[in-house]
Amino acid sequence: MRLAGKRALVTGAASGIGAATAERFAAEGAAVVIADLNGAGADEHAAAIRAQGGTAVGLTADVGDDASVAAMTERAWETLGGVDILVNNAAIPTIGTVETLAADEWDRVIDLDLSSIYRASRAIWPRFVEAGGGTILNTASVAGVIGMAGQHGYSAAKAGVVMLTKCIALDGAAHGIRANCVCPGFVETPMVNEYFDAQDDPAASRAAVNAAHPLGRMGQPDEIAAAFLYLASDEARWVTGTALVIDGGLTAGLPPG
């Protein structure tokens, strides 16, 4: 097992990429704390993992609140006897341009998609330093690598995640702390379905997004979880500060014709 003996805290893990990542980590031997604003969903997913023979505990947490993040970190550490891997996955979608995006929505997406990673990383940092190391993994997006019309707040937040990850990696290296992020293309998750539902023609939007990926489809959560597994494992012990793009070829360039 690639994560035998490891302990992981995964935020936004009641559904989507976070849920798939927690499940994959547990299948590979890690003990996992599943943190989510949806506490009932976190408990339910943890129970499902335990039913499959894994070790998992659900936890209610609000990554937009300093006190909640501090409590999440403390409880995860106490529950697992320590944490080796922090996966900052919790995020929200936001659609709008500088003309149409309300100021409070801009503030909200920056807070929950970017500042939340600062909060959780800051909360666990002294514990990782004292332990002699740790791994911080962040969910960014192809929207943080290339521009996307109509997603100004979300794209700005995810671009910030990429750069924050690199800075954390530089500062963490002396302490044995590795930091990396994954930049998924469009993945079949509740958040992406929410994005489609907000479009004027959801079916046409979905078809266009599928077609934009050279491999002809959106990704699946387990395909992103596989990337997180690699970055969390000892196979990636010499990998830090990277933004791993997993996008079905979306950012490779212009298609033929």
- Give the pair of three-digit tokens for residue 213: 């990926």
Nearest alpha-carbon partner for 120 in 81, 59, 156, 68? 68
Distance CA 136, CA 125 (A): 10
* Residue whose token pair is 């604003």: 37
Q: What are phi and psi of 56, to 5 degrees?
A: -155, 145
Q: Which amino acid is at 59?
A: L
Q: What is the dihedral of CA 77, 35, 87, 188, to 10 degrees?
A: 160
Secondary structure letter of residue 238 according to DSSP: T
Distance CA 197, CA 204 (A): 11
Catalytic residues: 154
- What is the three-state SS of 59-124? EECCCCCHHHHHHHHHHHHHHHCCCCEEEECCCCCCCECCCCCCHHHHHHHHHHHHHHHHHHHHHH
Yes or no: say if 237 and 177 are a contact pair by the CB < 8 Å rule: no
Q: What are phi and psi of 75, to 5 degrees?
A: -65, -40
Secondary structure letter of residue 220 according to DSSP: -
